[in-house]
Amino acid sequence: MEHIAFLGLGHMGAPMARRLLAAGHPLTVWNRTAEKAAPLVAEGAVAAASPADAVRDADVVITMLAGPEALEAVAEAISPALRPGTHWIEMSTVGPDAVRRLDRFTGVSVVDAPVMGSTDKAAAGTLGILAGGDTARVEHVLAYLGTVTRTGPLGSGAALKLVVNSAVIGGIAVVAEALRLADALGLDGETARAALANSPLGGAVARAFAEGVHFDTALAVKDLDLATQAAELPVAEAALSHYRRVAEPGTDISVAAARIRTTLN
């Protein structure tokens, strides 16, 4: 089986890497905070001291990083060590421009494959994977992580992920404000929440009150910032302003939604 290098062991990366290890792939892992690799090493993975060391012998490289800046830093670090013929699956949410810049590495096949779903689906292998580029030689790897939807040329998966995330994150802010309106009008909160849950906004309501999943508000701010740089999006810009006002490092987006509901003027 292919030797896989997995770079980025955050809330999403760690359970995804664990599924590849359980499938029998030789796995080398790297994370900026090295201690996060320890549970996977205990299960049979090899920890690398640097991104370059991680990819040196890899057939497939997977990156699951926080944003475009982190991806660019890792790309520069691994460029001398990437072997011709390596397949690079970029699964972070970084926008299409950051993905297309990876096409500069000669002899390396790049696929962008950002995911839909949170930590629960990452652990279960039921993520939705939006894959841009030629996926033919890596779909069997992606199949351990979820269901692949081919989106078009390189960068199209990253572009569609921004569209989806902008709608979901904005929808959660709308739900929060709708419940704030319900409170201002003297309605029972649970009754209003149930009505919204049975409306076309039901998915956003479920995400706003989800437990056991994780999506940091810093990531929400990052995603909306990328989206509003790509097009004029007044609603997304308003949501971005809201999240920036209530976000703190390590705060889940559902907590931020509660703060929008209770604190904004």
Name the catalytic one among 36, 121, 161, 222: 161
For the beta carbon of residue 15, count every other beta carbon within 10 angstroms.
19
CA distance 83 to 86: 6
Q: How many helices (H) and strands (E) does the chain have?
A: 13, 9
Q: Outline where 68-208 has alpha helix (H).
A: 68-78, 96-100, 119-124, 139-142, 156-184, 189-197, 202-208
The answer to whether residue 161 is catalytic is yes
Can you name the residues that pair with 149 across neighbouring β-strands?
A: 130
Please answer whether residues 133 and 153 qualify as being in contact, where contact means their C-beta atoms are separated by less than 8 angstroms: yes
CA distance 226 to 109: 25
Q: How far is CA 209 from the centre of its chain?
A: 19
Classified as helix, coil or strand, 92 is: coil
Please give the positions annotated as active site.
Answer: 161
